[in-house]
Amino acid sequence: MDNIHIAVAGASGRMGQLIIQQVLASSQTTLSGATVSCTSPLNEEPLTRLFSNAPEDIILTSNVAGAFKDAQVIIDFTAPETLQTHLDVALREKIGLVIGTTGLSKEQFQMLEKASLTIPILYSANFSLGINLLMEMVKEASKKLGVAFDVELLEMHHRHKQDAPSGTALALARAAAEGRNLTLQEKAIYDRTRQRQSRHENEIGFAVLRGGSVIGDHSVIFASDEEVVEFSHRALKRELYAKGALRAALWLANQKPGYYKFSDILTSSEKNTVS
């Protein structure tokens, strides 16, 4: 089987570098391009400036079209404002797109869904296997515990994270809401400081902490008058997200156009095991 050609957006960022390490180390992939911002001091510099084992012909560039043209899949963990540019190239060249960028707007998600009619797109707020399994558990627990258990989300990340709540916290809360046939938009409470009132039934509250170098801690708390049930996940190494992104790219390279989630990879793996 031929190697899957992968391009990485935001190659000089923390996640970009970790993803490139995974791509270079894998026997199943070939790095075909890597982008940086036009203001980066590494723009138009060889990738060997960052990785001694990188192919000498790979140049870090802000020329998105040039960096992506030979790719089968693009991995994008950059910023919401770069999504349109990356998506335009992916659509024009018919390239699959793995997106781990958080903080996307409702309009941007609608844009992705429309584009998925033409190319395969996989979006996930978190590429951790544990978190994605946790989402399924939270959904089931929310359904079975029922309205007697209040739902609260607690998350903490490093001091540099800009979006709040985190995309993962929102995804976990959305799973809890779906378990009760609710919509998060109607039940989410992001701030209890502006209005003095008791908690309403089926509210889903958020508490957000930022500090230090915490990679990502998430807890979903179900609290009744008699007991508290808590689901927690702690990321110990940022590499786990890069490994998950590579797994997603390898899987997406063989998919038809569509809008996919990380859970689709897990489902297909279960089917292959059964068969």
Among 71-75, 82-86, 163-167, 266-270, whose mean pLDDT is lowest? 266-270
CATH of the domain at 261: 3.40.50.720
Whether residues 105 and 11 fall in one domain: yes
Whether residues 27 and 68 fall in one domain: yes
Whether residues 93 and 218 fall in one domain: no
Among 67-71, 113-117, 267-271, whose mean pLDDT is lowest? 267-271
Q: Does the pLDDT at position 1 exceed 60?
A: no
Whether residues 14 and 123 fall in one domain: yes
Whether residues 200 and 210 fall in one domain: yes
Whether residues 217 and 250 fall in one domain: no
Catalytic residue among 5, 69, 158, 161: 161
Domain that holds residue 137: 129-234
Whether residues 160 and 105 fall in one domain: no
Confidence of residue 81 (pLDDT cuts 50, 70, 90): very high
- Type of residue at 120: P
The strand order across the sheet containing 45-46 reads: 45-46, 59-61, 29-35, 4-9, 73-76, 96-99, 120-123, 258-260
Whether residues 230 and 248 fall in one domain: no
Whether residues 166 and 230 fall in one domain: yes
CATH of the domain at 136: 3.30.360.10
Whether residues 119 and 244 fall in one domain: yes
Catalytic residue among 157, 218, 233, 243: 157
pLDDT tens track for 240-250: 999 999 999 99
Q: How many domains does the chain have?
A: 2
Has 157 been annotated as catalytic? yes
Confidence of residue 194 (pLDDT cuts 50, 70, 90): confident
Phi, psi of 249 (to 5 degrees): -65, -40
Contact at 8 Å (CB) between 138 and 220?
A: yes
Whether residues 9 and 118 fall in one domain: yes
pLDDT tens track for 220-231: 999 999 999 999
pLDDT tens track for 111-140: 999 999 999 999 998 999 999 999 999 999
Whether residues 165 and 187 fall in one domain: yes
Has 143 been annotated as catalytic? no
